[in-house]
Every structure is written in structure tokens, then in C-alpha cells.
Structure 1
């Protein structure tokens, strides 16, 4: 019996169902509370735009809820597992399972397998739903909850620096030399001082620069306005500086982010932070598999010793420490202190070892 990972199919289904039910209940409660608190802060901004009403508030909820689910699903797995294992321990069911010859790893095996299923579903959910919701919500916030334009894959509100000058483009469509600019504003600066502002409605690639028209120049010192017609600006500004300057990792799927990183790397742009985010799209859902191991401290040890509550608190503290370490490692990866893959996977591997050590020590 000790050589089998799942000696009893009925027991495996019982424990997996127990964890999944409690996880869903905890997740539903967290989503309800956090969405309500978030809506209290954002509803005023949504309704401040003239014409917005209940439909726009509900739309915000539909876009924000997937983000909350993605962020708190692993923690819900932790809490659901702690609740289930604490109940089994209090009812002496863990003692009965160990008395029948099951090891601690065999007791946890159904929970880890169920958590692996949660991780797979979480990755698909993040990749197909959360990324799209994040991209839409981010764009909606940028325009202060005004009606969203039709999404044709254009980039909005792009800023590019050209020496001392700043170039602002409201909309960029197309890629490479075929890129088209809309509503361009050039801030002509000398030694940090603004000398003139040039505005144009559209622009396109012209040699090593961008031909914009019809251009109007406003001289800051004199206040004089000059109609320039068509002029070429931004000499040396590459097309990829417009098309790749605003890559939102949260708003892209795994494959789309991988393509964006490849384009940036080909253009000689830094990609370390985005590479860390790409690896984190794998490690974040997989963290659900780690939660039963961290929660195992609540399962083993005599319940009548009076330390069951303390064990449950220790399990929750381990979960909090993992998420803190995960965010800290990502921050270090973003500034280049860690390699991208290490920033994403180091907390997972570290707490996997911690969980295993605690499990072995507790079982002994």
C-alpha cells in the first residue's frame, strides 16, 4: 500500500472534492468583498463621465473580476486546503489515514493533483480571459472611462523621445515603415526649455524621419502661430519606437508577449522585465500546486494538543510570505538584479523546499 500514490480512489476523490469546494467558496467570498471595495473607489470616476450609468459600472465589474480571480486564486487554494485539512485533523481522520499505512505525501497527493488541475485551468483563464480584460480595462482607464473606440489593434497614447524633443502620438496603426501616425504633437526643446509646439493630424515614414501634415507651429516665446504644411520631424526615430514602446505584459497572452519580446530584442531594446513577466505567467498559476504543501502544517500533529489553530495560522503565514517573496523577486528581476527566469521561479523552488522540510519534520 505504501508504494502506491493513491491507495484508495474513493479517498482521493473525497479529499480532492473537499479542497475544491472550499477553494471555490473562499474565492467567491474574496471576489465579492474585494470587488465591492474596489467598486466603491472607482464608481465615482466611472459615473463622472457624462452619459455613463449602470451599464458602464457593470462593464467595469465584468472587466475587473477576472483580475481579482487571477490574483487571489492561489491564496484561495491555500485557505481552502487549510480549512479542509484542519477539519480532517480535528475529526481524527488524518490519524485514521496514517494508521492505515498512508504516508504524509500520500495524504497530500490527491490535493496536489487537484491543485495541478486548478493551475492548468488558471493558466488558460489568465491567457484567454484575464489578458483581454486587463488590456481593455487599461485602455478604458486611460480615456477616463469614455466610450472605447473600436479595437483594430492600434496603439494609443505613445510617447517617444528624440534627443531633447518629445513626440506624442495619440494613435499608431500598422507596423514597420507602413506605420501611420494620428494626432501628432512635437515638443521642440533646447537644453530642457520648451521653444515651440508643432501639431499635425497625420504622419507617415519618410526616409529616416516622419512626414507630418498639415503642421501648425506655436512659438512659446512670441505666441506666434505658423502654418507649416508638410514637414519632416523625428529624424532617427525608428518605427519600433512607436509600435513597441507601450508593451503591457498583463494585457497580452503568453504567445503575444513572447512575440513582443522577440520584436523588442530584434530592435535592440531591453526586455529583461518583460521576460520575467513571461516566466511569471507560468509560475503564477503553478503556485496553486505549492499551496497544499504549505497548508500541510495544519494537517499533521495532534488536534487535542491545542495547537491546531496555531498550525493553521502558520500555514497562512507561509502563504503570505510566499506571495511577498514572489513580488520581491519580480521587483529585483525588473531592475536587473536577478535573471528573469530566476525572478519568476526562485520563490516557488524556495518554498517548495521549505514545505517539504516542514512536512518531513512534522511527520517525524
Structure 2
């Protein structure tokens, strides 16, 4: 079984790498054709900027295409074995699809680790570089309202910061509405700028208005014990998938500072882990469908079935993810539900024994 697993792994990795390289190259070429002029204009015609842009866009493409490349690589491997009748030999020895999936666990777990590493440690810093070049795929207009201000929440207090200051990661021209536990306004603070300290923020050039006495005064400095990280202002303006787990946990723990539903980041926390398992599930899906080749099914049939199931899974996953972000489904169910459903489908296919699994009488499988 070990020799068979190594043989299957070698065939699969070669085809997986070829498919992934081909798809990434094609998409990256289209990206450069579409946005190359913008990149050159932003870099004053520096050709090296195109190379940097392609390098920073690479992790995002790999993240999206890795599950598809896994699926197609597994199908191509299965087709290669079937074309040379090697798959018939494998089934005739009594090797079940479940045993073959277990034998492929090392390479499957390798792809799981690769998917998580790219999603969590490669995509976020790469997209930050893309945004620094002014080539972000998503506009940051969702940070701020029509008046040009950003409203944030820290505990019971509300903050209003100019949008441009928030996007640049600075606290200047901010207004703080301090409230008590019942939500009643305690005081109104207007500060020209703020400086972070160990326990909060030191406000400078402050106008303080007491809501109870209705009196105001000016102070050169004033300490405010609020929780707010300058980097988190920028994090609020990007897509959750462009954040790492630590950043999403921080935003979820602080209720996204009132900018988004906390369920958005809680759902993506689970999604980051659940999505890493997709390559393993794709390998298991193709191998489990491979048993139908014993009933004289064609590789084309396996291909169409695998693609249809995978497409259904992706649509289902996007739907549940949206419902999790809206709070319709619990975050864990929204993220893990599709993966569990696909795993259950693979399990049911493995348990089903097709009547035509044995080679036809008198047929001698070729070992070419």
C-alpha cells in the first residue's frame, strides 16, 4: 500500500503543480494586461513595478486556485491510471477507495497546510503591499459615511474621526462622546490630536463639554482610557479575507468598533480554518468517485460529477458565509456546514458499493 500511495502521490503532485502553474500564469497575465498601465502610471513608468505587482498578487491567485488545481490534478491522475488500466489492477487487488484516501493523507495534509499558510500568512501582507501601490481591488469607501467621518465604538464611548485621518492610521480632529452604562451622554470631547499611551490615549488641545453641568472648558491635555489601535482603523477598511487570524480575533473581541457586525469576523475566523480542509476534501471526492470506473463509467463522467459537486459546494459555501455574516446562521455553522456536508457526501459515496466493481469475467487487466 505504501508503494501504491507513493506512486499515486508522485503522479498527482506533478499534475497538480502543472495545473496550478498554468492557471495562475493565465490569470496573472490577464491581470497585468488589465491593470498594467495603472501600475506603470502610479510608479512613474518604472518597469520593476510590474514585477512587484505580479509578486504581490500571486498569493491571492494561489489562494483561490489551489482547491481547483487539487480537483483537476486528482481527476487527471485518475484518468491517467484508467487509461493504462492501472486503476483496474488497483481495485482488483482489493484496495478500497477509503484505503487509498488514507494512503494519500500525507500529500492531502500538505495541501491543507499550504492552503492555510497562503490564506493566513501570505495573502494579508501581499494585499497590504497592493494597497500601498494604490492598486487595491476593493475601494475603501465603506470606511466612513457621506459626511467624511468614521464612527467607531470603544466600550460605551463613541468616536468620530475624519475618514482621511482614519485611513492613514492617525487620530487627529477626533470627537469623543462619553456615555454611562445606561447610554446617557456624560461629556463631549473634541481633540486636535491623540497620542497612544500604555493604558489609553493622551488627547491634546481638548475642548471638554460636561453634559450634566452644561459647561465647557479647554485643556491642553486629557487622558482618555479608550481601547483603539491605529492599525485597526486600516483593518476595518479591508475585506476580512485579507486579515490574518490574530487581526480578526482582535476586531471580533472589540465588536469591530461598531463599524461592522461582529458576526462578520467571527464567521471568517471559522472560515479561515474550514477552507483549509477543501484540498483534502477534493482529493477524497475524486478518489471516492473513482470506484465508479469499475462499472465501466468513463473518466468524463467522473469529471462532470466532480465538477458539479464542487461547484455546488462553492455556491453553498458562499451562501452560508453570507448568512453567517448577517447573523442568520451561527458563525461556526456558516463556515463548517458546507465542509461537513461535502465530507458526508464523500462518506456516503465510499459506503456505496457499486455492483460493477469487479473486473468483467475473463478480462485480464493490463499493467502498462
- The normalised TM-score by structure 1 is 0.72
Quickly say closer, same or farther: Cα 1:239–1:313, change in 2 above 3 A: same
Paired residues in the alignment total 309
Secondary structure of the residue aligned to 2:327 is coil
Deviations 1:275-299 (A, max 9, x none): 1111111111111110012213552
The alignment status of 1:168 with 2:162, answered yes or no, reads: yes
* Aligned-pair CA distance for 1:352: 0.9
* Pairing partner for 1:262 from 253, 272, 289: 253
Aligned counterpart, 1:136: 129
Aligned counterpart, 1:110: 103
* Pairing partner for 1:286 from 250, 272, 277: 277
**What is the correspondence of 1:341-352 to structure 2 with a 5 Å cutoff?**
341-352=332-343
Aligned counterpart, 1:240: 228
Aligned counterpart, 2:178: none
Quickly say closer, same or farther: Cα 1:161–1:266, change in 2 above 3 A: closer
Quickly say closer, same or farther: Cα 1:17–1:39, change in 2 above 3 A: same
* Aligned-pair CA distance for 1:126: 2.6
The alignment status of 1:88 with 2:99, answered yes or no, reads: no
* Aligned-pair CA distance for 1:316: 1.6
Aligned counterpart, 2:194: 204
CA distance in 1, matches of 2:242, 2:335: 18
* Aligned-pair CA distance for 1:95: 1.8
CA distance in 2, matches of 1:273, 1:15: 40
Deviations 1:314-353 (A, max 9, x none): 1122122222221221111111111111111101000111
The alignment status of 1:45 with 2:34, answered yes or no, reads: no
* Aligned-pair CA distance for 1:49: 2.8
Quickly say closer, same or farther: Cα 1:161–1:172, change in 2 above 3 A: closer
CA distance in 2, matches of 1:172, 1:208: 15
Question: Do 1:330 and 1:344's aligned partners in 2 also have CA atoms closer than 8 Å?
Answer: yes
**What is the correspondence of 1:1-364 to structure 2 with a 5 Å cutoff?**
8-49=1-42, 51-141=44-134, 159-161=149-151, 167-171=161-165, 181-182=171-172, 184=173, 203-204=193-194, 240=228, 244-245=232-233, 246-247=235-236, 248=238, 249-264=240-255, 270-296=261-287, 298-302=289-293, 305=296, 307-361=298-352, 363-364=354-355
* Aligned-pair CA distance for 1:305: 3.6
Q: Which runs of 4+ in 1 moved over 6 A?
A: 207-210, 265-269
Question: Do 1:326 and 1:347's aligned partners in 2 also have CA atoms closer than 8 Å?
Answer: yes
Quickly say closer, same or farther: Cα 1:168–1:180, change in 2 above 3 A: closer
Question: Do 2:100 and 2:287's aligned partners in 1 also have CA atoms closer than 8 Å?
Answer: no
CA distance in 2, matches of 1:143, 1:111: 38
Gaps of 5+ in 1: 1-7, 145-155, 187-199, 214-229
Deviations 1:59-112 (A, max 9, x none): 110110111001111111111001101221232222211221212211232234
CA distance in 2, matches of 1:362, 1:78: 23
Secondary structure of the residue aligned to 2:171 is strand
- The normalised TM-score by structure 2 is 0.71
